[in-house]
Amino acid sequence: MTTGLHPGEAPQDPRATGNPPLPRQERNGPGTPHADNRTRSSVITARAAASFDPVGRSVATARSFVRDTLQGWGFADIVDDAVVLTSELVTNAVIHAGTSADVLCLRSDDGVRIEVADLYPEREIPLQGSPVNMGSPDREGGRGLQLCAALAGRWGVEYTPTQKQVWFQLDLPERAVGTRSAGPSLPAALLPLADGRVRVAVIQIDRIGSIAAWNEDAEELFGYAPESVIGKPLTDLAAWPHTPGTSTGIADALQFSRWEGSYGIRGANGRVTPVYASHLRVRDTDGEPSTVCLLVRDHERAVLQTPLRGSSSDTTSGSEGPNTDPFEVFIGSPAPDDLDGLLQRTVERARDMLDADSAFLLLATDDETELEVRASTGLPSARQRFARVPVEAGPGRYGSARMPAVHDDLSAVPGAVPLLNGTGMRSVVTVPLKVEGRLTGALGVAAESPGRYTNEEALRLQFAADRIALAVESARLGELERLRRGSLSFLVEASDLLAGTLDRDQTLALMAQMTVPTLATWCAVYTIADQSSDPYLSYVLHEDEDRIDGLKALLSKLAPPDPVPTPGARVWSAPAAAAHQAALRTSMRSLGLNSPTTTVSSGIGTTLATAAAVGGETVVLPLVARNRVIGMLTLGKPTDEHFRQEILELAEDLSRRAALALDNARLYSERTAISQSLQRSLLPPELPDIDGVEVEVIYRAAGEGNEVGGDFYDLFPIRDGAYGFAIGDVCGTGPEAAAVTGLARHALRLLAREGFGGPAVLERLNSAILDEGARSRFLTLLYGELWPQEDGSAVLKIVCAGHPLPLRLRQDGTVEPAAEPQPLLGVLEDLELYEQTITLDPGDVLLCVTDGVTERREGTRMLGDDGLADVLKTCTGLTAGAVAARIMRAVERFASDAPSDDMAILAMRVPGLQKD
């Protein structure tokens, strides 16, 4: 079916085809010929067109199209006649003529004209006065013209070489001015609540989704001046609800011919205002499409949601042919593709069928123990989506949702239908939806006056429920499958993100960001350090960043939820109760009603906005890892909103993954802290200040998270005026090499302070390393003792056991080795080492490095001893710190890759005596 809607079109002949028309027959009332006196000068204020395929379903589809069009135009008085005539004429076209049918509806000031055309002009209508019988009322077909003659004010037939067209016009009946429909009088206490004047924001969206018009009420509701939003995409302002795998996007909603639903608009103050919207897709006289959006605050949805009441004769008339689908008779055609659209149309048709004031439809959970509200009309927003009620509402037969039930007056049996408490509804009839004997949902209608319904209405409603039960269950299963696919994709992505970090704080942030706004409006994560600790509020996130601080302040004043290890989500009422009290105190303070004895807590949390943000349903899911509760994941909705069961199940799956990731991050953090603490214990404390000698050390351990490796250094006082220094390299890197590092450094200090000379210290250290057995590793070591002299020089005694030779830089720029090589440690049991004595003159530098410096590689090139000497020659006149920094910079620039070996640099310089 293809349709088009053209509001406000100028007068024109809508049937022009470019072909010369054949002779035309026309009638004005039964059997009265007349000239073509159709009022072509009448202003056509709107038109709607549709094409229907030559199949049986098209008849019901055409009826629905005409009914919806005329009710949308406000012509409920002539809907029944128009639907009956259209049904017969389309049946003639698609069943008897066997061609497609084109239906055109034209609205004018005095009535409606409907034209039905088929592509079988050879099948002519008998001429006026012909003895051929136009049809018998008892025949299945051929009654279209008789009905036109009986019901229409004017009608006629036209032929062209390619099509035949039958048209009829229905005039509007005379009626009292100002009365279209009315409801019963209600006490003031039962009237819907509105905050002052009801404001209806009218926003027009152009073809590309940008705002083209913005009225005064929109400015008042959302705080934006027209010039600040016109031209911007609506997506910049809309806070669109999202459910993984099922949700219709805002771009899709703007493309539908008609759409109604709830979402949010982010105002100029950053706050999100929940709105109920009605979208209508139109096009102007130039054919340019746009969408007109009417928006009211969500609790005022009845302003837009309640349609005009029209009798549903189509559901009870006998004009349906043998191919009519009973489902389409009730729900209309085409049936909505999505479950929410199907349910919404169901409750509206059920309400109209019994002339009720409200209707609701609930779907059963998988275990059939609870029902979730999935669609309603005529009820306040608090009764809307995903509120849950038990299947067995009370004792007795009529307390169960598994059986039809009629209540004449709810005030006499309070609590019989919990969904309707406080709504002003008095009488109600509910029926179950069942598929193959299994409860799948419940459908109910209610009225504000008592005694409206009997068992006869219950049977009619049950008959309608039986028609749509299978389609609803099929659509529900389809939505569930899409949700599960979306959930699987969501969980895979969440697992990848959580597995990508071992940082605790980042894991907490990821947990919250994955749930908001996909699963909840706000989220709070509590953590528990150990079994004896209380839960601690670690992270808070809200989809509106301006409310995070207020939410955090409010939650911090509440006792945290109990860390119960039971799986699944449980409701936590404390935030909503605290929010209500905060809102009450804020309102009293603004009205000056605080008594002198009333203590009003201050802070950013006690605001109406914060109260609205957490005033809905709040659930807590335990974070359990390795059989211990390590925290709680708290999810919340704003005022009057509920979680659907599938979202809670998805959140439970996410909480299990998040708990394991959080515990892994905790264990990694603890292990890292222990490792770093142990490694820091292997490093020497602060270097001592040595009069007359500058000392600088640079140390880099290879590997992520390592502070100590196989290279080490030390500088320590031995006795008055004497200092020991060492730089060494244990074979390998990582913790195993670090263990030998600790042994060597502490043994050097102990032996040197016991008065042993350099060779004796290293020989005893060699024995200690060999005593480690399989854990021993060979070690290269440069050890020396330093004595600063009064003349500004320094005397050094050095033993170089297999280590890269120290280099001496003189003031004239020459570089030379300062020691001779000797055997390394940890290999031979009997070592004969000796020490060498050198004197550093003022201005001289002694440079000691590990092989991570000299063996720095770039491909086949290596820095080597010669390269290091070349760099050292450029350091004449520099301080010890500058020398060490230049050597390190040269090593880093020698290759582009990160160093793969530990590196240590020890630079000592004798600056000489200071002159007065």
Q: How far is 827 from 743, CA to CA, in rounded Å?
A: 16
Instruction: Give me the pLDDT at residue 293, please.
Output: 93
Which of 754, 698, 752 is CA-nearest to residue 725? 752
pLDDT beyond 80 at 602: no
CA dihedral 842→845→846→847, nearest 10 degrees, is 170
| pLDDT at 73 (0 to 100) | 78
pLDDT of residue 337: 61
Q: How far apart are CA 218 and CA 210, in angstroms?
A: 15
Most confidently modeled range among 8-17, 432-441, 814-823, 889-898: 814-823
Q: How confident is the model at residue 195 (pLDDT cuts 50, 70, 90)?
A: low
Mean pLDDT is lowest, of 566-570, 577-581, 609-613, 645-649, for 609-613
pLDDT at position 20 over 50: no
Cis, peptide link before residue 788, omega less than 30° from 0: no
Residues 6+ apart with CB under 8 A from 662: 504, 507, 508, 511, 527, 623, 625, 630, 631
Cα-to-chain-centroid distance, residue 623: 21
Q: Model pTM?
A: 0.50
Question: Which secondary-structure segment (H or E) carries 277?
Answer: strand 272-283
- What tokens were used for 785? 């003792």
Residue 462 has pLDDT above 60, yes or no: yes
Cα distances (Å, whole numbers) of residue 360 to 219, 350, 679, 803: 33, 9, 67, 87
Average pLDDT, the chain: 79
Residue 523 is encoded by which pair of tokens? Answer: 């989220």
Residue 713 has pLDDT above 80, yes or no: yes
Q: What's the pLDDT at 203? A: 95
Confidence of residue 131 (pLDDT cuts 50, 70, 90): very low
Of the pLDDT bands very low, low, confident and very high (cuts 50, 70, 90), residue 912 is low
What is the rounded average pLDDT of the residues 539-555? 86
Per-residue pLDDT of 35-69, as tens digits, reads 344 444 467 877 888 888 888 778 878 887 888 78
Helix or strand (DSSP H, E) at 498: helix 455-499
Q: What is the pLDDT of residue 454?
A: 87
pLDDT at 129: 44
- In this prediction, residue 243 carries a pLDDT of 54
pLDDT category at 123 given cuts 50, 70, 90 is: low
Residue 727 pLDDT level (bands cut at 50, 70, 90): very high
Q: Note whether 631 and 663 are within 8 A (CB).
A: no
How far lies 424's CA from each of 309, 408, 419, 848, in Å?
A: 20, 13, 11, 91
**Predicted confidence band of residue 26 (pLDDT cuts 50, 70, 90):** very low
Residue 597 has pLDDT above 50, yes or no: no
Cis bond leading into 334, ω under 30°?
yes
pLDDT of 189? 64
Question: For residue 10, what pLDDT is reported?
Answer: 40
Please, which residues bridge with residue 52 across strands?
101
| Each residue's pLDDT tens digit, 835-891 | 999 999 999 999 999 988 998 888 888 999 899 999 999 999 999 999 999 999 999
Between 654 and 249, whose confidence is greater? 654
- Higher-scoring residue by pLDDT: 104, 96: 104
pLDDT at 128 over 70: no
Which H or E run contains 167? Answer: strand 164-171
Ramachandran assignment for 404, one of left (phi > 0), alpha (psi -120 to 50 degrees), beta (any other) = beta
Q: Give the helix/strand (H/E) hosting 497.
A: helix 455-499
Q: What is the pLDDT of residue 190?
A: 61
Fill in the amino acid letter for 738.
A
CA distance readout (Å), 88 to 116, 144, 557: 10, 5, 70
The β-bridge relationship of strands 2-5 and 44-52 is antiparallel
What's residue 392's pLDDT?
67
Q: Which residues 6+ apart lie within 8 Å of 30 measured at CB?
A: 149, 150
Average pLDDT estimate for 435-464 = 87
% the chain with pLDDT above 90: 21
Where would I find the H helices in 123-238? 144-151, 216-222, 226-229
Least confident of 309-318, 359-368, 667-676: 309-318
Residue with tokens 């007359």: 692
Decide if pLDDT at 177 tops 90: no
For the residues 675-701, what does the mean pLDDT come to? 81
Report which of residues 257 and 330 the model is more confident about: 257
Q: Could you tell me if 360 and 371 are in contact, meaning their C-beta atoms sit under 8 angstroms apart?
A: no
pLDDT higher than threshold 50 for residue 7 = no
d(CA 3, CA 46): 13
Higher pLDDT, 197 or 292: 292
What's the longest Cα–Cα distance across the chain?
144
With cut-offs at 50, 70 and 90, classify the pLDDT of residue 590.
Answer: low
pLDDT band at 385 (very low <50, low <70, confident <90, very high): low
Enter the tokens of residue 710.
Answer: 């196989």
Write the pLDDT tens digit of every residue in 313-352.
Answer: 444 444 444 444 555 556 555 556 677 778 888 888 888 8
**Amino acid identity at 469:** A
Q: Where are the alpha helices (DSSP H) in 29-118?
A: 57-73, 79-91
Angstrom distance (rounded) from CA 553 to CA 576: 14
Block residue for tokens 């909505």: 336
The whole-number pLDDT of residue 569 equals: 85
Residue 3, pLDDT score = 46
Task: List CB contacts of 607: < 8 A, sequence separation 6 or more.
Answer: 550, 582, 586
The token pair at 47 is 């038109």
Length of the chain, in residues: 916
* E strand segments, 654-710: 694-700
Distance CA 418, CA 892 (A): 74
Give the percent of the chain with pLDDT over 70: 77
Confidence of residue 615 (pLDDT cuts 50, 70, 90): confident
Stretch 290-299: mean pLDDT? 88
